[in-house]
Amino acid sequence: MCPYSKTSNRGGTTTNILVTGGAGYIGTHTCIALIEAGHTVVVADNLSNSKRESIETIKRITNQEIPFYEVDISDRQAVERIFETNHIDGVIHFAGLKAVGESVEKPATYYENNLISTLVLVNSCLKYGINRFVFSSSATVYGENEVPFVETMERYPTTNPYGETKAMCERILTDIAKANPLFSVSLLRYFNPVGAHESGLIGEVPTGIPNNLMPYLTQVAKGKIDDLSIFGNDYPTIDGTGVRDYIHVMDLAEGHVAALTYLKKGAHIYNLGTGQGTSVLQLVKAFEQANGVTISYKMVPRRSGDIACCYADVDKARRELQWIAKRDVITMCKDAWRFEQNNLHQEV
Ligand code: NAD
Ligand code: UDP
């Protein structure tokens, strides 16, 4: 048995969950959290941004068999075959393209992939009487709003097609829930997921040079990249650098288990964040302190499209999902670094 295997069933009802995009970063961690909570999972992923080995690693960590389908979720026949051959109680829909910059260059690809897959999946759910649905949305739908971001705020026009696909999917799923009284959907708005499973066996594997801060930091620490460019030190924040709400990916994963447990009829939005803002410089210092390394950095102009400050109001998730994030920034930095040191497959 793998030393990281946990067998606890926390007393909930066992359900069989289809996890689309389950070979990806957040999907793999969520499969582990679901299995640890006593559920079983079926994974569907076209491996466009992930590898089949990640499924083997989940099996190793959890000691569970995982039916895996290499399919595109936009392929209606393939999706229906999954529902024909498995008893599925609910769906968590992670599958999607997520690179903001790429979405500006290839909007048609992003709208097609993210919208069609969601429509095919939800229509198949309705056909097969599957009424429990959890959707991966993003804090990006708040745009540049007052902090903290609260679920009751109007959606703001986002600055890129990726963000628009999230806002559109939220609207589509909300209309579907209105028209189908048995349908329950949670729209989970993630803040900034970082870190890795405590085993160091799974984590985020960016393609090429990372865009996001934490994978960039780990690659500077490893010497793959010379230094970090800090995008702007003239924001109206504690030290002039951008502030974000970093959330440990295992906390986020556990948030999905809670969302499934407390699903209720209709469409309901929940922020999944910590409620704490951390600046770029604060994260750099935390990373150095957590891991005993030095990060060399330089200040450069702001990155186009970035906002100054973003953090969540987490009260609704705490009240309605009985969930709060437990892991602190130091743990996020330690776990991200452990995975980077173990991971032999990353290329820059
Ligand atoms: P990821 O790229 O690691 O995982 C997504 C998975 O979906 C990949 O394995 C990819 O191969 C698969 N996929 C993409 N399109 C597919 C399709 N048409 N059919 C089947 N599989 C497909 O990304 P992630 O970071 O794990 O993100 C998961 C979800 O959460 C995405 O929808 C993303 O937009 C959303 N999200 C991510 C973040 C973040 O910072 N990571 C923040 C907010 C929201
Ligand atoms: N950032 C940075 N250098 C980098 C990558 C990111 O200074 O190489 C900053 C970015 O400007 C933002 C914060 O780090 O203030 C988080 O950026 P990330 O891309 O991780 O998340 P997002 O901007 O999508 O919230």
DSSP string, 192-210: EEE---TTSSS----SSS-
Å from CA of 114 to ligand 1 middle = 10
Any atom of ligand 1 within 6 Å of the Cβ of 47: yes
Choose which residue among 19, 48, 70, 272 to substitute to test ligand 1 binding: the one with the highest number of ligand atoms within 8 A of its C-beta: 48
**If residue 103 lies in a helix (H) or strand (E), which one and from where to where?**
helix 100-105
Any atom of ligand 2 within 6 Å of the Cβ of 306: yes
Strand, helix or coil for residue 242: coil
Any atom of ligand 2 within 6 Å of the Cβ of 211: yes
Choose which residue among 19, 49, 160 to substitute to test ligand 1 binding: the one with the highest number of ligand atoms within 8 A of its C-beta: 49
For residue 159, the model assigns a pLDDT of 79
Residue 1 has pLDDT above 60, yes or no: no
Reading the block at residue 278, the tokens are 């951390």
Q: Is 162 a catalytic residue?
A: yes
Amino acid, single-letter form, for residue 110: Y
Q: Which of 58-72, 154-168, 292-306, 318-332 has the lowest mean pLDDT?
A: 154-168
337 located within any domain: no
pLDDT tens digits, 244-253: 999 999 999 9
Any atom of ligand 1 within 6 Å of the Cβ of 202: no
43 located within any domain: yes
For residue 12, the model assigns a pLDDT of 58
Q: Which of 123-137, 150-164, 205-219, 282-296 has the lowest mean pLDDT?
A: 150-164
The arithmetic mean of pLDDT across residues 307-333, rounded, is 98
**Percent over 70 (pLDDT), the chain:** 95
Alpha-carbon radius of gyration of the chain: 19
The arithmetic mean of pLDDT across residues 148-164, rounded, is 90
103 located within any domain: yes
Helix locations, 206-321, DSSP H: 213-221, 249-261, 280-291, 315-321
SS3 content of the chain, % helix, strand, coil (to 5): 40, 15, 45
CA 74 to chain centre: 20
Which of 220, 235, 219, 238 lies closest to 306, judged by CA? 235
331 located within any domain: no
The arithmetic mean of pLDDT across residues 316-335, rounded, is 98
Please list, in sequence order, all residues whose beta carbon lies within 8 angstroms of the beta carbon of residue 312, skipping any fewer than 6 positions away: 139, 148, 149, 189, 191, 245, 271, 272, 273, 274, 275
Q: Which of 8-12, 170-174, 237-241 has the lowest mean pLDDT?
A: 8-12
232 located within any domain: no
For residue 129, the model assigns a pLDDT of 98
Any atom of ligand 1 within 6 Å of the Cβ of 49: yes
Residue 132 has pLDDT above 90, yes or no: yes
Q: Which residues sit opposite 69 in a β-bridge? A: 44
Which of 168, 186, 152 lies closest to 312, judged by CA? 152
Residue 208 has pLDDT above 90, yes or no: no
How many domains does the chain fold into? 1
Residue 171 has pLDDT above 90, yes or no: yes
215, 204 Cβ separation under 8 angstroms: yes
The arithmetic mean of pLDDT across residues 120-145, rounded, is 97
42, 86 Cβ separation under 8 angstroms: yes
Any atom of ligand 1 within 6 Å of the Cβ of 114: no
For residue 252, the model assigns a pLDDT of 99
For residue 74, the model assigns a pLDDT of 98
Q: Whose CA is nearest to atom 13 of ligand 1?
A: 95
121, 79 Cβ separation under 8 angstroms: yes
Euclidean distance between CA atoms 263 and 261, whole angstroms: 6
Å from CA of 294 to ligand 1 middle = 31
Residue 151 has pLDDT above 90, yes or no: yes
Which CATH number is 70's domain given? 3.40.50.720
169 located within any domain: yes
DSSP string, 76-102: HHHHHHHHHHS---EEEE--S---HHH
Reading the block at residue 146, the tokens are 């007052």
Residue 4 has pLDDT above 60, yes or no: no
90, 15 Cβ separation under 8 angstroms: yes
Average pLDDT, the chain: 94
6 against 13, higher pLDDT: 13
Residue 25: domain span? 16-196+246-273+312-325
Residue 3 has pLDDT above 90, yes or no: no
Residue 258 has pLDDT above 50, yes or no: yes
333 located within any domain: no
Choose which residue among 18, 98, 248 to substitute to test ligand 1 binding: the one with the highest number of ligand atoms within 8 A of its C-beta: 98
Local confidence band at 13 (pLDDT 50, 70, 90 cut-offs):
confident
User: Among the options 69, 110, 162, 311, which is catalytic?
Assistant: 162
Please list, in sequence order, all residues whose beta carbon lies within 8 angstroms of the beta carbon of residue 164, skipping any fewer than 6 positions away: 111, 158
308 against 3, higher pLDDT: 308
The arithmetic mean of pLDDT across residues 29-54, rounded, is 97
Beta pairing, strands 132-138 & 278-279: unpaired
Å from CA of 98 to ligand 1 middle = 6
Reading the block at residue 83, the tokens are 């529902």
Specify the residue for token string 């970063």.
25
For residue 14, the model assigns a pLDDT of 79
202 located within any domain: no
The arithmetic mean of pLDDT across residues 29-43, rounded, is 98
**If residue 244 lies in a helix (H) or strand (E), which one and from where to where?**
strand 243-244
Residue 2 has pLDDT above 50, yes or no: no
Residue 39 has pLDDT above 50, yes or no: yes
pLDDT tens digits, 187-202: 999 999 999 999 999 9
Q: Whose CA is nearest to atom 11 of ligand 2?
A: 231
